[in-house]
Amino acid sequence: MTAPLGKDLLGIEPLSPDQIQLILDTAEPFKEISERAIKKVPTLRGATIVNLFFEASTRTRVSFEFAEKRLSADTVNVAASGSSVSKGETLVDTARNLEAMRIDMVVIRHGASGAAHFLAHRIESNVINAGDGTHEHPTQGLLDLLTLRDHFKRLKGLKVCIVGDVLHSRVARSNIWGLQKMGAEVAVCGPRSLLPSSIKDFGVTVFDRVDEAIQWADALNVLRLQLERMQAGYIPSLREYNRVFGISRERLERARKDILVLHPGPMNRGVEIDSDVADGPFSVILDQVTNGVAIRMAVLYLLSGAKPELAEQAKGGQP
């Protein structure tokens, strides 16, 4: 049987709208498993999965691990550090070692853009990109889509503005691709020094004023501002960033409409988002986290379809 997503999930850019739809639809029944008293199905029994994290991550790693465990996979977490330029094993050697251990899937988080491609091209196992440099973070993009769809019951025609450091954000890229493929309108808003110079070529609207973005949007996806951006001189200060681009309750109230607020986490409260927004009625930030497990279960399930013996078990395990 052919795998509906192919061998790997490296990004949202290569996915078709049908494939995205399939992942979102597949995630729906998986949500229910996490609500059960016994949160486990035998779908991936016998499958070995390595969570290979070259960058620190709590939320994404834990979310993947729960998704894997709830599907009964055997999982190993590897917290590697550094890249090939620092001392230690090169990524290609890591890949070969994993291959030699005959694992079924690798979930990789890495600081270098393209690291997931690098791995995927060199091993037979399925590779899931859990964030590579400033390239993509596809499962985050997918869980954002699922959260928006849950709330609005549609994605087509939805107006979503991504606010913040688009230049260095893999979440932004995955969101732009995913939203556009599903027929949503996408805008970005942030300091021009943190927007790619070619952003217009992506068919997105650019807002310089966050108030205009709020006025336009049905939902805001507020990006984390990496503190090192200030040290690198992209913005003068966090204080000014908060004053010009921070999402505050006053700003949202001025729009006089319901507006959904997403944030991929972890948040810098008081920088890109104020606490009363993060904890407020329009925030779906924790729904995103809940959906993250379901999306990752769906992705693991769909990728495992490449292996007939796993697919056989999956039938019995499908809720």
Tell me if 99 contacts another protein by CB under 8 A. no
Among 72, 84, 215, 248, binds another protein (CB under 8 A): 84
> x/- binding map, residues 163-202, to another protein, per CB under 8 A?
-------x--x----------------------xxxx-xx
CB of residue 96 to another protein, shortest distance in Å: 11
User: H/E element holding 203?
Assistant: none
- Edge-to-edge order in the sheet of strand 205-207: 205-207, 185-189, 159-163, 219-222, 260-262
**Distant-in-sequence, close-in-space partners of 109: CB < 8 Å, separation ≥ 6:** 52, 53, 54, 55, 57, 60, 61, 130, 131, 132
Place of tokens 């004053």: 243
- Measured from the CB atom, is 115 or 148 closer to another protein? 115
Cβ proximity of 190 and 245 under 8 Å = yes
Among 45, 59, 117, 151, binds another protein (CB under 8 A): 117
CA 82/CA 104 separation, integer angstroms? 24
CA 280/CA 138 separation, integer angstroms? 27
Tell me if 6 contacts another protein by CB under 8 A. no
Peptide bond into 14 cis (omega under 30): no
Sole window of 26-34, 114-122, 269-277, 311-319 interacting with another protein (rule: CB under 8 A):
114-122
Q: What is the DSSP letter of 223?
A: P
Among 62, 78, 112, 255, binds another protein (CB under 8 A): 112
Tell me if 136 contacts another protein by CB under 8 A. yes
- Measured from the CB atom, is 92 or 286 closer to another protein? 92
Residues 12-71 that bind another protein (CB under 8 A): 13
- Measured from the CB atom, is 118 or 241 closer to another protein? 118
| Residues forming the site for another protein (CB under 8 A) | 13, 83-85, 90-92, 110, 112-115, 117-118, 121, 132-136, 170, 173, 196-199, 201-202
